[in-house]
């Protein structure tokens, strides 16, 4: 399978680390700058899929968290990154799939698992930076478990 260069692989991993740090420390401006200007974020929620398109909509999306007094103390962990060729065959983009776990620590108590799911991202290199161009955030349910249903 085709893979990005080692340098690009490290930079893509760094992008996801910077994403979690910006999200979890309330750094709204840095968070928004991790996305391409025309990026799309699809967030699957119990009431349906919420879409944010472009920097301003992505800013509004993250401000829902950064403005929530219950949010400080949460930490997002993207792990088990799998980098694959872009589904559309574009040479300057990669598909990145990852597990996501969110823990929550409040009032000095031990952390608890707040949420678990997965992401699928298309990342693009613009200048020297890898940025998120398209992001889908989903709970650990549904299509990702389809192989189990086929064996039942």
pLDDT digits (tens, 9 = 90+) for 111-134: 999 999 999 999 999 999 999 999
Question: How many domains in the chain?
Answer: 1
Whether 78 maps to a domain, the answer reads yes
pLDDT band at 106 (very low <50, low <70, confident <90, very high): confident
Residue 79 confidence (pLDDT) above 80:
yes
| Residues ≥6 apart with Cβ < 8 Å to 15 | 34, 123, 130, 131, 132
Residue 84 confidence (pLDDT) above 80:
yes
Q: Give the model's pLDDT for residue 48.
A: 94
Whether 145 maps to a domain, the answer reads no
Residues 35 and 32: their CA atoms lie apart, in Å, by 6
Please compute, for residue 77, the number of CA atoms within 13 A of its CA located in the half-sphere on the CB side: 10
Whether 149 maps to a domain, the answer reads no
Question: Residue 52 sits in a domain of what CATH number?
Answer: 3.10.450.50
The rounded mean pLDDT for the chain is: 96
Residues 64 and 77: their CA atoms lie apart, in Å, by 19
pLDDT tens for residues 8-37?
Answer: 999 999 999 999 999 999 999 999 999 999
Query: What is the average pLDDT across 130-152?
Result: 91
Global pTM value: 0.94
Give backbone dihedrals phi and psi of 62, rounded to 5 degrees, phi first: -70, -25
Residue 47 confidence (pLDDT) above 70:
yes
Whether 51 maps to a domain, the answer reads yes
């Amino acid at each position: 399978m085709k893979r990005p260069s080692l340098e690009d692989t490290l930079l893509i991993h760094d992008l996801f680390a910077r994403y979690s740090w910006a999200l979890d420390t309330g750094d709204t401006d840095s968070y928004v700058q991790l996305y391409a200007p025309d990026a799309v974020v699809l967030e699957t929620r119990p009431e349906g899929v919420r879409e944010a398109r472009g920097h301003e909509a992505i800013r509004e999306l993250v401000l829902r968290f950064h403005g929530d007094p219950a949010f400080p103390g949460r930490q997002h962990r993207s792990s088990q990154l799998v980098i694959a060729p872009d589904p559309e065959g574009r040479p300057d983009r990669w598909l990145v799939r990852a597990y996501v776990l969110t823990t929550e620590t409040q009032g000095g108590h031990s952390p608890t698992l707040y949420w678990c799911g997965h992401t699928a991202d298309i990342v693009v290199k613009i200048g020297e930076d890898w940025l998120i161009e398209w992001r889908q955030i989903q709970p650990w349910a549904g299509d990702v478990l389809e192989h189990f249903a086929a064996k039942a």
